[in-house]
Amino acid sequence: MNCLIVAAGQGTRLREKGESKPLIPVKGVPLIERVINNARRGGVQSFHVVSGYRGERLRAELDAFAAREGVSITHIVNEDWERPNGVSVYKAKEYLNGPFLLTMCDHLVQPDIIRDVLAAPREPDTVTLCVDHNLNSPLNDPEDVTRVRCANGRIQLVGKVIRDYNAIDTGVFLCTPVMFDALEESFARGDESISGAMNVLAEWGKARSFDIKDRLWVDIDDPAAFRKGEQLIDQGLL
């Protein structure tokens, strides 16, 4: 299984920790290395990383990591890194023509989440989003999460300001190439985000949800979340 990691943005809310967000050490290990290692433990064999902001340094560090660990990493450059995250995903269209896992460079998830979604039954031409139904988890920032409304394993709506939501977007997707078709349609509507593509897929009846149940994850996007991630690592949970 291939894994696409979006690592193109600035990560301004963690600037105090370092200039390149993917390379910020978390308990001594660069954040993106933790993301890759967790995915490897979940069953991923090869990686495609989309870089942008300070991309030259990130690519050099990843090349050294790949050589040291024997990991396959393909670089994809997004020169339009200031645009929304869907643009970074779309840059991978020519590289991925089969199923692939999609995740973010700042989302630490327990490997069992990845292992379980990869082992679940798959429908052709769909995209499955791993969702967290534990809305009151102290690991989530209710002011910052992407909200999801789903029912019977199907996603109905994704967005930041949904009122009647029942799940949270974990940033982990099991994709097929239909994701690129949905991104094109979402771009045409003026929305260049991954969430926009998921809403297109929901309209097409091709967006699925996967309940992570009691599995843990954290979005390391600000100092408070950074501390939560460190605590989970200290406890041996991530």
* pLDDT exceeds cutoff 90 at 37: yes
For 77, the domain range is 2-234
* pLDDT exceeds cutoff 90 at 127: yes
* pLDDT exceeds cutoff 90 at 209: yes
State the average pLDDT over residues 142-166.
95
* pLDDT exceeds cutoff 90 at 17: no
Question: How far is CA 216 from each of CA 37, 138, 190, 237, rounded to the nearest angstrom?
Answer: 16, 11, 33, 8
Q: What is the pLDDT of residue 234?
A: 96
Question: Any idea which of 8-12, 116-120, 145-149, 230-234 has the lowest mean pLDDT?
Answer: 8-12
15 pLDDT tier (thresholds 50, 70, 90): confident
What letters, b where the CB count within 10 A reaches 16 and e where it falls short, cover 178-206? bbbbbbebbbeeebbbbbbbbbbbbeeeb
Q: What is the pLDDT of residue 16?
A: 84
Q: What is the CATH number of the domain that holds 113?
A: 3.90.550.10
10 pLDDT tier (thresholds 50, 70, 90): confident
Q: Could you tell me which of 102, 116, 121, 105 has the C-alpha nearest to residue 177? A: 102
226 pLDDT tier (thresholds 50, 70, 90): very high
The mean predicted confidence, pLDDT, of the chain is 96
Q: What percent of the chain has pLDDT over 90?
A: 92
Give per-residue pLDDT as tens, 74-107. 999 999 999 999 999 999 999 999 999 999 999 9
Tokens, residue 172? 């982990």
142 pLDDT tier (thresholds 50, 70, 90): confident
Give per-residue pLDDT as tens, 56-67. 999 999 999 999
Overall domain count for the chain = 1
State the average pLDDT over residues 167-195.
98
CB 119 within 8 A of CB 210: no
Tokens, residue 53? 């902001």
CB 23 within 8 A of CB 30: yes
SS3 10: coil
